[in-house]
C-alpha cells in the first residue's frame, strides 16, 4: 500500500509507461527493455524497480485500454446474440493486435496464473462466456461451442492480423463464426 510515491519515482514511472507504449507499438512486445529505459532517460535498474518483468510492463501499459474493452464488452449484452458475438470477437481481435506479440502473451496468459496478464485474460474469457451461453440459449450458436473456443478464436484472429493482414484475419474470423452458428448441417440448439 504505498501511498505517496516520491515525485521522481512517479515521473520515472510515467515516462517508462509512455516510452514502453511507443516502443511496443513500433517493435512489438519483444522489444528491448534496455532500449525503453534509454528512451525514458532512466537506468535499466529503474525500469526493473517499477516493473519486475516484461509482462508486468505490458500489463501496465494496457491497463486503461483494458477497462474500455471490458466496458464495451458488457455493453453488448443488449444486442442480438449473433451481433454481440461478432462484435465482441472483433473488439478483442483489434485490442490484441495493438502490439505485435500481444496475442501470444494473452494466449499463454489464460493458463498461467503467475502471469500479470492472467486477470485480463480471465475477464475476456468471462465476457465471451456470457455472450456465448446467451447465444446458445437463443438457439443461435451450436450447443457444443465453449468459451475456450471463442477465446482461442480471438487470439488466433489477432495473430493472423500480425502475420497476414487485417482483411485476412477478418475473413478467417467471420468464417469461423459462421461455423459456430446453428445451421442445417449442425446439431440443433434446443435447450
Residues 9-68, interacting with DNA (CB under 7 A): 9, 12-13, 31-35, 42-46, 48-50, 52-54
Q: Which three cell numbers stand for residue 166?
A: 487485417
Q: Which is nearer to its own copies, 8 or 144 (CB)?
A: 144
The DSSP 8-state label assigned to residue 141 in this structure reads B
Buried b (16+ CB within 10 A) or exposed e, 139-165: ebbbeebebebbbebbbbbbbbbbeee
The single residue among 89, 107, 121, 125 that binds its own copies, judged by CB under 8 A, is 107
Does residue 184 interact with its own copies by CB under 8 A? yes
DSSP codes of every residue in 23-66: HHHHH-TTS-HHHHHHHTT--HHHHHHH-SSHHHHHHHHHHHHH
Instruction: Work out what residue 126 binds among its own copies, DNA, none; the CB cut-off runs from 5 to 8 Å by kind.
Output: none
The single residue among 27, 130, 133, 176 that binds its own copies, judged by CB under 8 A, is 176
Q: Which is nearer to DNA, 57 or 180 (CB)?
A: 57
Q: Which three cell numbers stand for residue 98?
A: 495493438
Q: Which three cell numbers stand for residue 121?
A: 485474460
Tell me the C-alpha distance between 47 and 3, whole Å: 20
Q: Which is nearer to its own copies, 48 or 152 (CB)?
A: 152
Q: Which is nearer to DNA, 49 or 143 (CB)?
A: 49
Question: 82: which residues sit within 8 A by CB, 6+ positions away?
Answer: 135, 140, 141, 177, 181
Question: Residue 181 phi/psi, 5° resolution?
Answer: -80, 155
Candidates 13-21, 31-39, 59-67, 153-161: pick the segment binding its own copies (CB under 8 A).
153-161
Q: Which H or E element spans position 180?
A: helix 166-180
Q: Which is nearer to its own copies, 71 or 111 (CB)?
A: 111
Angle at 160 between CA 97 and CA 182, to 5 degrees: 105
For residues 47 to 86, the per-residue mask of contacts with its own copies, x marking binding by CB under 8 A and - elsewhere, is: ----------------------------------------
Instruction: Work out what residue 152 binds among its own copies, DNA, none; the CB cut-off runs from 5 to 8 Å by kind.
Output: its own copies
> Interface residues with its own copies (CB under 8 A)?
104, 107-108, 145, 148-149, 152-153, 155-157, 159-160, 163-164, 168-169, 171-172, 174-181, 183-186
Amino acid at each position: 500500500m504505498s501511498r505517496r510515491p516520491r515525485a521522481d519515482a512517479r515521473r520515472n514511472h510515467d515516462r517508462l509507461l509512455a516510452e514502453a507504449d511507443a516502443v511496443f507499438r513500433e517493435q512489438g512486445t519483444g522489444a528491448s527493455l534496455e532500449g525503453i529505459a534509454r528512451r525514458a532517460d532512466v537506468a535499466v535498474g529503474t525500469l526493473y524497480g517499477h516493473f519486475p518483468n516484461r509482462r508486468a510492463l505490458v500489463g501496465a501499459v494496457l491497463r486503461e485500454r483494458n477497462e474500455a474493452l471490458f466496458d464495451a464488452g458488457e455493453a453488448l449484452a443488449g444486442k442480438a446474440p449473433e451481433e454481440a458475438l461478432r462484435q465482441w470477437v472483433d473488439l478483442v481481435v483489434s485490442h490484441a493486435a495493438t502490439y505485435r506479440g500481444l496475442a501470444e502473451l494473452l494466449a499463454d496468459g489464460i493458463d498461467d496464473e503467475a502471469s500479470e496478464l492472467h486477470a485480463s485474460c480471465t475477464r475476456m474469457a468471462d465476457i465471451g462466456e456470457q455472450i456465448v451461453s446467451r447465444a446458445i440459449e437463443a438457439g443461435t450458436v451450436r450447443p457444443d461451442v465453449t468459451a475456450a473456443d471463442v477465446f482461442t478464436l480471438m487470439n488466433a484472429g489477432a495473430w493472423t492480423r500480425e502475420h497476414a493482414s487485417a482483411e485476412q484475419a477478418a475473413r478467417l474470423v467471420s468464417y469461423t463464426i459462421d461455423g459456430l452458428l446453428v445451421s442445417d448441417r449442425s446439431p440443433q440448439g434446443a435447450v
